[in-house]
Amino acid sequence: MQEIAVTGGTGFFGAHLCRALLRAGYGVRCLTRSGEAPAGARRVAGDLDDADALHELLCGASIAIHLAAATRGGSPARFSEVNLAGTHRVIDAAVKARCVRFLYVSTDLAALACDPYGQSKRDAEDLVADSDLTWTILRFPALYGPSLMTRNCAVESLAEKVRSGRVFVPGNGRQRLSFLHTEDACEAVLRTLTCDETQRKCLFVGPQAVELDEAVRALAGGAGVRCRIVHVPWSVARATVRTALGAFRALPLNVSMFLTIDQDKVLDGTPFERLVGWRPTPTVDGLHRFAATLEAEARTYRRGA
């Protein structure tokens, strides 16, 4: 059985991925700071700054998948320490352990690199690409799917706003974004591991982008609610975010996405699709189904309460 070492297995996406890897027949070991590793995975206790823990994690694993990252609410120094220096240490440990494959999960925000999170992920990508490992970098857009651990996704928060009947959207709502379901993201990783043509490539993985208003309408349609979209001029929206982060709860998506959302993040997923022979769920269909599932769960909960 091939052993895969995973960092970030306790996070929103990592929990899905560990389950998918185990289902596919891989042995999985996870670096875990506190709490349990996902069921079926071996726990290796430690932090990204713990060289001994990284050695234990990677020794004997033929594949490394590096997901662990500071993803929200950090200072630039924190993003750099965890995402850049942490990646450096994981690469070192993977080289010493002679891993034959190294997969780095990155973000479309790395392409823009216009906030500390995106910049730190971009710098980490450069480290991976300069290493002697047989690497692949997958850039995901915003992920959505059920929460398996304690964390949920930004899209779930947006869906909640939509269910409340009113959503504030920065700009004119015509900015284009891609959203990827966690099941599709897991399938993308599995296909990458068995597709040699993805080696030494940085690839965007995501369905064709849709306008933000269309995404909101898909969530409203799935939830079976009417939702009023209120367009907020960029100047007002930015000032609101910068001066009163407390008011941010009224705005969709997280700070990084919010501040970069006007840059028309149309990224092309077709090179990845061609290499691995597979396509992700179209954004509108996926968001519609996701919102319908959330609404059904909320109805069951309300009946039980």
Give the residues lining the site for ligand NAP (CB under 6 A): 7-8, 10-14, 31, 33-34, 47-48, 67-71, 82, 86, 105, 107, 121, 140, 142-143, 151, 153
Nearest distance in Å: CB 254, ligand NAP? 8
| Cβ contacts of 98 within 8 Å, gap of 6 or more | none
Residue 11 or 252 having the CB closest to ligand NAP: 11
| Rounded Cα distance, 169 and 124, in Å | 31
Distance in angstroms (rounded) separating the CA atoms of residues 11 and 182: 12
Q: How far is the CB of 296 from ligand NAP (least distance, A)?
A: 23
Q: Which residues pair with 231 in a beta bridge?
A: 169
Q: Give the nearer residue to ligand NAP in terms of CB position, either 57 or 237.
A: 57
* Alpha-carbon span 87 to 190, nearest angstrom: 21
* Minimum distance, C-beta of residue 68 to ligand NAP, in the bound complex (Å): 4
Give whichever of 55 and 231 is closer to ligand NAP, judged by the CB atom: 55
Please state the φ and ψ torsions of residue 43, each to the nearest 5 degrees. Answer: -90, 130
Q: How far is the CB of 238 from ligand NAP (least distance, A)?
A: 22
Which is nearer to ligand NAP, 14 or 222 (by Cβ)? Answer: 14
Answer positive or negative: Cα dihedral of 274, 278, 282, 283.
Answer: negative
Q: How far is the CB of 243 from ligand NAP (least distance, A)?
A: 26
Task: Give dist(CA 55, CA 96) in Å, integer.
Answer: 8
Contact yes or no for 79/70 (Cβ under 8 A): yes
Which of 55, 72, 51 has its CA nearest to residue 64? 55
- Which residue has its beta carbon closest to ligand NAP? 11
258 contacts 234 by C-beta, under 8 angstroms: no
Amino acid, res. 296 = A
Comparing CB distances to ligand NAP, the nearer of 189 and 239 is 189
Minimum Å gap between C-beta 223 and ligand NAP is 20
CB closer to ligand NAP out of 75 and 300: 75
For CA atoms 242, 210, 68, 85, the dihedral sign is: negative
